[in-house]
Amino acid sequence: MKIRSFITAGLLSAVLIASNSGCKKDNLENNPNIANEASTIPVSLLLNHITSTIIRSAGIGNSEEPWGNTHRLNQYYVSNYSYYWGSNFYNWSNSDHTYDLLKYAVKMEEQAQKQFGNTTNIYFGASKFIRAYSAIWLAQRVGDIPMAEAGNPANLTPKYDTQHDVYKNSLKLLDDANAIFNTKISPATANNKFDVAGDIFGLTNLQWQKMINTFRLRVLISLSKRAVDNADLNIPAQFASIVNNPTTYPIMTSNADNVKYVYNAATNQYPIQRTGNTPYNNYANMGKTYLDLTTANQDPRTFITSTPAPIQIKSIASGGNGKMISDFTAYVGADMNTSQAVLFTNAPSGFYSFANYNRYYSSASGANCEPYIFMGYPEMCFNIAEGINRGWATGSSASWYLAGINASMGIYGLSNNQVLTIGDLTGASQGTVTVNIPQFLSNPNVVYAGDNATGLNQILQQKYVAMFNNSGWEAYYNWRRTGVPAFSQGGVGIGTTNNLIPRRWQYPQSEKDYNATNYLAAVQSQFSGTDDLTKDTWLTK
């Protein structure tokens, strides 16, 4: 069934209430600054809203941007003082939603049909991607969701589709989107900008198509637990058809195809600057989950993202450990399991590493740091390596694994024998280190072990490191699906009743308020009547 909308009764009711209570009907009709249903709205304007808001920057359990709470709960960094950086607790409840993306995608389709006279233009291809993205964004968080019946104005209480059907329909939407691009772009137009005015990512026609197919690979990999017992989804076959047929299914070929969210000093400051956290960098430490991986592997990305823990490089005579700044064991992450009271005591005592001040705190535009990647080539390389490791496609998983590592190094601008200045908490220089990439690649933990469980573990670990502070909740979703890397949990710092990380979110409050009958039926069929955060959905059982 074709998705129509995610606009629930709650959202529609809110719009009606606001319209009827805010001003008189005749004022709304006569307001020259408000477009009515018959108005022509430039598709670029609608696309601009979609691309500028697809990365969640606010809301319950969102803040997907760098140093947002999403990446704290991905265990890349840890707050040691909740007043400035928030709690480390995983005590989330109701999920947010992506109804706004769906609403604008539907409107973009209406306007594209009106302005281009057909339903096969590339804006329809883009809209199918947005429909699929918004559906999966919510379904992977909560389980079954309204899809086939949602958006019909005659039915304000749409039934829920199973998570299986949401994924099946979304994969079909992505395939249809790719087909539209195949028929609408040519070698002469492939490298033209998709929409100079509307696309905040600045992608070409071909790069939009690559993004669609790269996202489809991400979705298929996310279904690894369902690849055997759901033959109708054809998960391995779909995966192989994309990987082995780049003419029909173009995918990213380098970092140049990364979908990047660019910041600037004037209107879209780097999040740390925008949220006023610049003076409070001493209240956030690097995460143990992340640094345990990079330091054990002698990974030079350690030097790019982090400072040495002060007590580690303090002289022995002064009560420290006397290590060199080039010593990977001098970089120590804070454990998410630990209570904030203990973290708050340990941090000023120099027990933990901090973020690289000069890289992340020194520019309002984020000029010195890596861009925020919404979807990128390194992740795609690791996804393909994982699929080949699982036997879904032919090819060299080792080559794709190495390509993912090298691409991630490229994002940080790292090269062998490069000299890096290491700063302290304030950014003051502590000396220099020399990047040794061959040492990292030859580390026994990194040398690919082959298409086996050990090799799969290596792929997943390197994907986690490569997604540092980008790719939204993907690090959490990969952990939930595979258990890799081993997230810290079980301690009081997790903040849940059982001190374990939740397996899902509860449904948006609007579903409970305005679609109660279908919401309750969905909760009953999936979780025996309780909207339980500790239960796995069909996706990860």
**Structure tokens given for 273:** 């600057």
Give the CATH number, domain containing residue 424: 1.20.120.840
> Is 540 inside a domain boundary?
no
Distance of CA 197 to the CA centre of its chain: 25
96-100, 129-133, 180-184, 469-473: lowest mean pLDDT where? 96-100
At 18 the pLDDT is 34
Positions of E strands within 230-306: 259-261, 284-286
At 26 the pLDDT is 39
At 62 the pLDDT is 66
At 153 the pLDDT is 66
The 3-state DSSP class for residue 477 equals: helix
The 3-state DSSP class for residue 374 equals: strand
188, 331: one domain = no
**Cβ distance 153 to 162 under 8 Å?**
no
Distance of CA 101 to the CA centre of its chain: 16
Q: Name residue 142's amino acid.
A: V
405, 474: one domain = yes
253, 290: one domain = no
224, 315: one domain = no
Please, which residues bridge with residue 419 across strands?
434
Per-residue pLDDT reduced to its tens digit, 400-420: 999 999 999 999 999 999 999
> Is 455 inside a domain boundary?
yes
Which region holds residue 177: left if phi is over 0, alpha if psi is between -120 and 50, else beta?
alpha
Q: Name residue 475's amino acid.
A: A
Q: How far apart are CA 461 and CA 201, in angstroms?
A: 28
349, 231: one domain = no
With pLDDT > 70 as the criterion, what percentage of the chain qualifies? 92
pTM for this entry: 0.93
Per-residue pLDDT reduced to its tens digit, 70-114: 999 999 999 999 999 999 999 999 999 888 898 899 999 999 999
- Structural domain of residue 310, as residue ranges? 286-494
Chain mean pLDDT for the chain: 92
540: pLDDT confidence band, cut at 50, 70 and 90? very high
**Structure tokens given for 210:** 């690559």
> Is 112 inside a domain boundary?
yes
Q: How far apart are CA 202 and CA 268, in angstroms?
A: 16
336, 403: one domain = yes
At 33 the pLDDT is 54
Domains in the chain, number: 2
373, 422: one domain = yes
Residue 455 pLDDT > 80: yes
Residue 295 pLDDT > 90: yes
249, 314: one domain = no
Residue 3 pLDDT > 50: no
At 58 the pLDDT is 67
Per-residue pLDDT reduced to its tens digit, 329-365: 999 999 999 999 999 999 999 999 999 999 999 999 9
Nearest Cα neighbor of 257 from 194, 314, 306 is 194
Nearest Cα neighbor of 94 from 508, 502, 501, 511 is 508
